[in-house]
Amino acid sequence: GENVEQHPSTLSVQEGDSAVIKCTYSDSASNYFPWYKQELGKGPQLIIDIRSNVGEKKDQRIAVTLNKTAKHFSLHITETQPEDSAVYFCAASIPTSGTYKYIFGTGTRLKVLA
Amino acid sequence: ETGVTQTPRHLVMGMTNKKSLKCEQHLGHNAMYWYKQSAKKPLELMFVYSLEERVENNSVPSRFSPECPNSSHLFLHLHTLQPEDSALYLCASSQGAPGSGSGNTIYFGEGSWLTVV
């Protein structure tokens, strides 16, 4: 069935180091991949996204890479700061029966240690 | 401020109670969604409304009843819930209606924490 696997489930890094979160999707028809950040007590907020016709996208300290052949995409955060601590979710947009839906990963809890 | 406002933020209800969750979006979007977020599980899509018409109902028990009176407002009516229904309920909206093209970014509200006792 359709699913998105996300790893790791938890990640601790020292402030200033880089963090990488990886997701693998199953449906080759997936064509849009957003990443959301959810801080404690808040709803998920979009931080970056990538479409299937692009291999990499960068926005300041965050970047996303997409490997369509391997069906995986990754979030990269450089120069991590304590305020980057949150739960991060990946998602894949899947067209289905004339509509589309998002399949979400199970989330990665990132802790940035000062 | 995400442009999607949910009330109440916290709700405790007994299994025989009737309550409602409210969502309002100020983004001029045409589609609205209810998601359920439970610990250690992926976000679960419950309902999708496009231009006030329900276009998806993901086998959600009838004790959850959605209502979309207009494109800016969405309700989730709750009746005779079970303790396992305790979760964070997230409302979201997107510009385009499902099927109008991929990549219609979903914007979430802050969520309503529901505890069923």
Task: Sort out which chain B residues have CB atoms less than 8 A from A43's CB and list them.
Answer: 2, 4, 6, 90, 108-111
Beta carbons of B42 and A105 less than 8 Å apart: yes
- Which of A51, A99, A107 is opposite residue B55, by nearest beta carbon? A99
Residue B95 contacts A, CB cutoff 8 Å:
no
Q: B75 pairs with which residues across the strands?
A: B22, B67
pLDDT of amino acid B80: 93
- Mean pLDDT across A26-33: 89
The length of chain A, given as a count of residues: 114
DSSP state, A84? G
B94 token code pair: 């997107």
| Whole-number Å distance between alpha carbons of B111 and A21 | 24
Beta carbons of A32 and B103 less than 8 Å apart: yes
The position carrying tokens 């505890």 is: B115
Measure the CA angle with vertex B53, ends B52 and B55; round to 5°: 130
What pLDDT, in 10s, does the model give residues B46-87? Answer: 999 987 778 777 789 999 999 999 999 999 999 999 999 999
- Mean pLDDT across A68-78: 96
Of A37-46, B6-15, B54-63, where does mean pLDDT reach its minimum?
B54-63
DSSP per residue, B51-97? TTEEEEE-S--TTEEEEEEETTEEEEEEES--GGG-EEEEEEEESSP
Measure the CA angle with vertex B77, ends B73 and B81; round to 5°: 150
- Mean pLDDT across A17-21: 98
| Whole-number Å distance between alpha carbons of B30 and B97 | 6
